[in-house]
Every structure is written in C-alpha cells, then in structure tokens.
Structure 1
Amino acid sequence: MSLWARILGQWFLIGLVVSILAAKVQPEVGKKGGLLKPEITIKYIAVSVIFLNSGLSLRTDDLKKALFSIRLHAFIQIFTLVFIPFAIFFLVWLLSYSSLNIWLQKGLLVVSCMPPPVSSAVILTKAVGGNEAAAIFNSAFGSFLGIFVTPLLLLFLVGASGAVPVQSVFTTLFMTVVAPVLIGQVIRSFVREWLDKANLPFGALGKLILLVIIYTTFCDTFASASLDIESTDMAVIIIVVLLCQLSFLTLSFMLSTRVFKGFRPSDVVAIVFCSTHKSLTLGIPMLKIMYSGYSHLSLISIPLLVYHPTQILLGGFLVPFVRSWMVSATSRQEAIEKEIQETCSGNSPSSISA
C-alpha cells in the first residue's frame, strides 16, 4: 500500500486534528451565535441529516429486530442512567477530600445524570459498522427517558430541581430523530434495490457530519475558555473526565463481552458508545433550567463542556481499533457457529443411518 493510500485511509483521524486546530484558530466562526449558526445548522439540520441518512441506509428488518432487543436496551440504559451516576457520586465523595473547586465537583455529578446524545453515539457506531439500529433506538429512547430521569437524578444527587419543558423537548426529538428515520425508511421502501446496488457512502457522510459537529463543539469550548477557573482545577477536571471515559468504555466492553455474554460484536459496539456518552444538546438547556438561580452556573457547566468534545474525540480515535476488533470477533463467532452447525448436522439421524 502506498503512502498516499495510507494517508487517505486515515482521513477521519486527520480530519479530527484539522477540525480542532481550526476551532482553536478561529472559534468565533463555529461557536453558538457565530457565522455557521450551529444552534440551527447543527442542532436541527445536521442531526436531522444524520438520522435521515440512517433511515435510508438501514434495512427495515434490522430496525424491527433492534426494537425487540430488550436485553441490549436494558444494559445500555441501566449503565448510563444508573451505574454512571452512582459511580461518579462515589468519585466525587473521594474528590471532596481534595482542594478541587466544589462547583466543579457538582458539575461532575451533573454530567453523570445526563442522558445519552442523539447523534455522536449513532455516528460512531455507524463508522465502526456496529449495530446502528440499536444505537438509534437507544439514543432516542435514552433522550426521552432523560427528560424525566435526569431531573430526578439531579434532585437526588445534587439537590436542585426545576420544571423541564417536556413538550418542547419531545417535539425537538421527534422532528430531528424520529421523523427523519421514518422518512428515510419510506424513501428506502421505494428505491431499496437501487440503494443496495448503488452502495452509497453513507458511512463517509456520517463521518463528515461528525467532523463538523466536532469543529463547532470545540469552537464553543475555546470561545468559553475565559471562565474564572484556576488552571490547576481545569487540568484536574480534564484528567478526571478522560480517566472516567476510558474507565467507562473499558468496563462497558468487559461487561458486555465477558460477564453478560450473548451479545454479538456489532451489539457490543453500540453498547460501548451509547452507554458511555452524555448529551450536551439536552444537558445545557437542562442546566439552565435546573440551576437558573445559581451564580456558579458557568462553573458547573465546565465538566459537561469538557466531557462532550472528549467523548467525540476519544470515540473518533478509537473507531479504527474498535472496527478491527469487531471484524476479528465476528469472524471468530461465525467460525464457531459454522463448526457447531456442522457438528449438529453430522450427528443428525440421517447422517448416522447413512
């Protein structure tokens, strides 16, 4: 393979670096309210395109099958909305003995209570080639659950409450997630054969959209870097967030492959990304509602602002490695299943009588 071919093969990782550097150089372009208007182009248009893309590329049978994967859905939702909040609660209890800013500690608790995002986990699962249908269902379902579960978790773990605009959140989720998937499925029903033959680059399109999301996310992060916070505290939060994500990614992978066995490799990919990601799109509005009277709102927002780009960046970096594992694990699983089938057919009455 030539050097140029190798470079092209890693275009997504190169795009990650370029996106972050571009955001650092000129954050005003992609920040909220900036030239690109990400509060419209990303929140509504880009997310809708992601799920329209998924609706077009997904086989209807796969989507139906994913809806009834109860064990898979239970694992993801319990991990992200039960295990992570209480794991972070224990971590914050340990950090309470340190000199880390108390509002940053509360911010970590806030992050842990957030629902999964409606885009990044789906894009990463699709980029790897995992169970995209399961990722779509859990991202949407987790967001719906988060409307009710997140305020309760915040009340229990952090001690703040407020009214959540349920109707507006439901409407946004339906218009940007559910409707595009349904529209894509309807279009697919008319042009299914052509789509199967054309082999359109749906995965590449998803990765391109993810790079745009990464760019605008880091624009917001760099633009808000003027917050009143000690550099040592900021460094600690970045390290803690990174270690938490690495720990959650590893633990979700180990549990789904070695403890709760029976998940296919493609299911494990969806589990790893969906159960460990937290939503900034739903998180920031909820923070503004739940902590509208707090003078330290900017400080408790910092861990979420750090967590969101970190999960996308780390997930993007892991894509080629997770894909390599999934391909290898799938090949081993298919070989085992084939061997079992051959053994069973060899022991059938017809073969014995023969």
Structure 2
Amino acid sequence: MILFSMPGFLSKLDRFTVGLVVSVSAGILIPCSGVWDTVFSRLSDAAIILLFFLYGAKLSRRSVWEGLMHWRLQSLVAASTFVIFPLLGILSIPMWNAVLGPDLCMGMLYVCMLPSTVQSSIAFTSMAGGNVAAAICSASVSSLLGVFLTPLLVGLVWSRGGADGVDFSTFLNICYIILVPFVAGQIAQRWIGKWVVAHRNVTSWTDHSTIWLVIYTAFSHAMVNGVWKNLPWLSLVEVLGFCALLLVVVLWLTAFLSRRLRFSREDRIAIIFCGSKKSLATGIPMMNVIFAGSPIGLLVIPIMIFHQLQLMVCSILARRWGRDLEEKKDGSL
C-alpha cells in the first residue's frame, strides 16, 4: 500500500512543499548578493503584484464586497492579530527572557506585534478552498493597520530604542504592491476574467512562486548579513520550540473561536490562515524603522523562524483541507 501511495504523495499538490525546501536550501547555499539581491527583490515584488492582479481579475465584485462587509470575520482576524497574539507575547515575557535572553525575547515579542502576512495567507486559503475574498480583505486590512499598530504595540511593551512612527513610504508601498494591482485586476476583469477563471493553473503557479521567491530572498539576506553566525545552535532550537508552541496555540484558538462562533467552513479557513500568520516581508522593513539606532541582528531571528515554520505547517493544512474538499466534491458527483 505504501508503494502504491507514493505517486500520490509526489503529486502536483506536493510541488509547493518541494519548492519550500528548494528555496530555503538555495538561500543558504547560493545566496544572492549585490546586483542579484536587487534583481530577486524586484522579482518578488513583481510576483506579488501579478498575484494580486490575477486575484482581482478572478474574484467577482460581489464576492469582494461581501468579504469586506463580513465584519464578524474581519473583527475576529484583527483581534487574533493585534490582541490575542500580543497578549500571549506579554504573558510569555518572563519565560522567554529567562531562557532566550533580552534580545531574542524582544524578537519573539516583535513577532506577536506584527500584522498578518498577505500573499501566503491568501494563497493557502485558496489552496484549501476557503473564502478568498474575505482573506484578501482581512490580510490587506491587517497589513495597513500594522503600519500604525505595530510601532504602538512595540512602544507599549518595550522602552528601548524605538522611533516616533513609521515612514509613510511603508504605507504607500503596501498600497502600491497590494491594493493597486487588485483594483487594476477588478477593472480588467471585464476583458480577462473568464480566461483567468478557466486557467486556474496560472493563479496556482503564481501563488507558489511568489512564496518561493520571498523565502529565497529572505534567507539570502540572512546569509549575506551573517545573521546565523551570531546565534548558538541551542538558542536556535529554543527559538524554534517557542515559535512552534506559539503557532500551535494561535492555530488552535482561531479554529476553536471560529467554530464556536458558527462560521462556515470557508470562513473558518480564512480566519485560521489570516489570524495565525505574521509577515516577514512587512516585519523586517518596519524593524529597521522602529528600532532605528539599535542593533537588530538577533531580533530578526524569531520572525524568520516563525515565518518559515508557519509556511511549512500551513502548507500541510492547506493541502489536507483542499484534498478533503476535492474528495467531497467527487463523492457528490
């Protein structure tokens, strides 16, 4: 039975996990630097822009409006991101500080204060058959709120360093990369919407390749800047353990609350993926502003580990839930 199941394991769905492993390995073994660092950063931005343009072209305006107006779902995701996560972090300060030390402890706290990641939350929601329109609205609103709330939350729990606010260019960059392409896709939907819907592999490959590019670029930056050299292996294992525990707790809480509040299956998937994730792409640029003048070498370690861990775990959940949905559809035929 195991031998006969191997082709299924190496099916099309598993290309994403394989891509994750390849991206991490490539970032460690052959990191990009110099002009290539700029090239891959631009490619990542271009992939994200294309991703949201295609989502805008695919999703009906009615679905987008219903997702935006789904205030119960939006409220739960925002509460998970900016209330539940920070509370868990504050309660864990004594333990993190005693085991990890002040710098890594602050890095863990910073993870809890960040907005949700956008592209991977939406990609996983799409892969699992969830409410993509609601996920786009939740993740996008979370990113925009995070520009203002993350510095405020960090300032409330830590008095060291810090800045008065966040550069307005960060806000504009979010609009440029996420909202503008999505609106452009909505406008172009009249001409290309049917083609995009008919060619689902286009959005599927865009989902996956976007995440692969972001991962490769992030690990390349870490290798080039020598971040890993400053971290003992024991501390790395400890951070990994705390990140895993934090992720499991939040995944359980979002699943529990969304079920108790009687959300539909599609909405629960969007809530779990959007409410349990933290953005590396937003977090690192904001870190340079919030902690301007302070050393941030070790602060970046927890967000990098949590980001990769959440992608691995959520990819397993998305594939499993997507497979369950396909089996239900096949059974109903």
Q: Deviations over 1:281-314 (max 9, x none)?
A: 221222212222223x212222112222222222
Structure 1 pair 129/153, CA: closer, same or farther in 2 (3 Å)? same
Q: Distance in 1 between matches of 2:205 and 2:211?
A: 10
Percent identity for Structure 1 against Structure 2: 24
Which residue, out of 10, 18, 32, partners 1:7? Answer: 10
2:154 corresponds in structure 1 to: 154
1:251 corresponds in structure 2 to: 253
1:67 corresponds in structure 2 to: 68
Query: Does the aligned pair in 2 maintain the 1:57–1:202 contact within 8 Å?
Result: no
Query: Does the aligned pair in 1 maintain the 2:58–2:193 contact within 8 Å?
Result: no
Query: Does the aligned pair in 2 maintain the 1:273–1:315 contact within 8 Å?
Result: yes
**TM-aligned CA deviation for residue 231 of structure 1:** 2.2
Q: Distance in 2 between matches of 1:167 and 1:197?
A: 39
Query: Does the aligned pair in 1 maintain the 2:135–2:270 contact within 8 Å?
Result: yes
What's the TM-score, normalizing by structure 2? 0.88
**TM-aligned CA deviation for residue 328 of structure 1:** 7.4
For structure 1, which segment, 108-117 or 153-162, has the greater mean C-alpha deviation from structure 2 after superposition?
Answer: 153-162
| Structure (1 or 2) with the larger CA radius of gyration | 1
Q: Distance in 1 between matches of 2:113 and 2:264?
A: 28
2:103 corresponds in structure 1 to: 103
Structure 1 pair 142/99, CA: closer, same or farther in 2 (3 Å)? closer
Structure 1 pair 33/101, CA: closer, same or farther in 2 (3 Å)? farther
Q: Are 2:116 and 1:116 equivalent residues in the alignment?
A: yes
**Paired amino acid for 1:15:** G
Q: Distance in 1 between matches of 2:108 and 2:37?
A: 31
Q: Deviations over 1:179-225 (max 9, x none)?
A: 11111111112244444455554223312322232332333344444
**TM-aligned CA deviation for residue 3 of structure 1:** 5.3
Query: Does the aligned pair in 1 maintain the 2:54–2:196 contact within 8 Å?
Result: no
**TM-aligned CA deviation for residue 7 of structure 1:** 1.9
2:232 corresponds in structure 1 to: 230
Higher relative contact order (CA 8 A, sep 6+): 2
**TM-aligned CA deviation for residue 65 of structure 1:** 0.8
Q: Are 2:202 and 1:204 equivalent residues in the alignment?
A: no
**TM-aligned CA deviation for residue 142 of structure 1:** 0.8
**Paired amino acid for 1:237:** V
**TM-aligned CA deviation for residue 166 of structure 1:** 4.5
Q: Distance in 1 between matches of 2:198 and 2:46?
A: 27
**TM-aligned CA deviation for residue 116 of structure 1:** 1.2
Q: Distance in 2 between matches of 1:279 and 1:89?
A: 19
| CA RMSD across the alignment | 2.6
Q: Distance in 1 between matches of 2:199 and 2:274?
A: 29
Q: Deviations over 1:252-274 (max 9, x none)?
A: 112211x222x111111111111
1:49 corresponds in structure 2 to: 50
SS in structure 2 at match of 1:298? coil
SS in structure 2 at match of 1:294? coil
**TM-aligned CA deviation for residue 111 of structure 1:** 1.2
1:323 corresponds in structure 2 to: 322
Structure 1 pair 93/206, CA: closer, same or farther in 2 (3 Å)? same
Which residue, out of 14, 18, 22, partners 2:22? Answer: 18
SS in structure 2 at match of 1:299? coil
Map 1:184-223 → 2, pairs under 5 A? 184-197=185-198, 201-223=202-224
Q: Which runs of 5+ in 2 are unaligned?
A: none
**Paired amino acid for 2:144:** F
Structure 1 pair 158/206, CA: closer, same or farther in 2 (3 Å)? same
1:284 corresponds in structure 2 to: 284
Q: Which runs of 5+ in 1 are unaligned?
A: 335-354
Map 1:120-131 → 2, pairs under 5 A? 120-131=120-131
Query: Does the aligned pair in 1 maintain the 2:17–2:312 contact within 8 Å?
Result: no
**Paired amino acid for 1:298:** G
**Paired amino acid for 1:157:** V
Q: Distance in 2 between matches of 1:2 and 1:328?
A: 16
Query: Does the aligned pair in 1 maintain the 2:116–2:275 contact within 8 Å?
Result: yes
**Paired amino acid for 2:71:** I
Q: Distance in 2 between matches of 1:229 and 1:6?
A: 35
Structure 1 pair 84/330, CA: closer, same or farther in 2 (3 Å)? farther
1:346 corresponds in structure 2 to: none
SS in structure 1 at match of 2:298? helix
Query: Does the aligned pair in 2 maintain the 1:249–1:272 contact within 8 Å?
Result: yes
**TM-aligned CA deviation for residue 155 of structure 1:** 0.9
Alignment coverage as a number of residue pairs: 326
Q: Distance in 1 between matches of 2:275 and 2:61?
A: 24
1:40 corresponds in structure 2 to: 42
Structure 1 pair 3/232, CA: closer, same or farther in 2 (3 Å)? closer
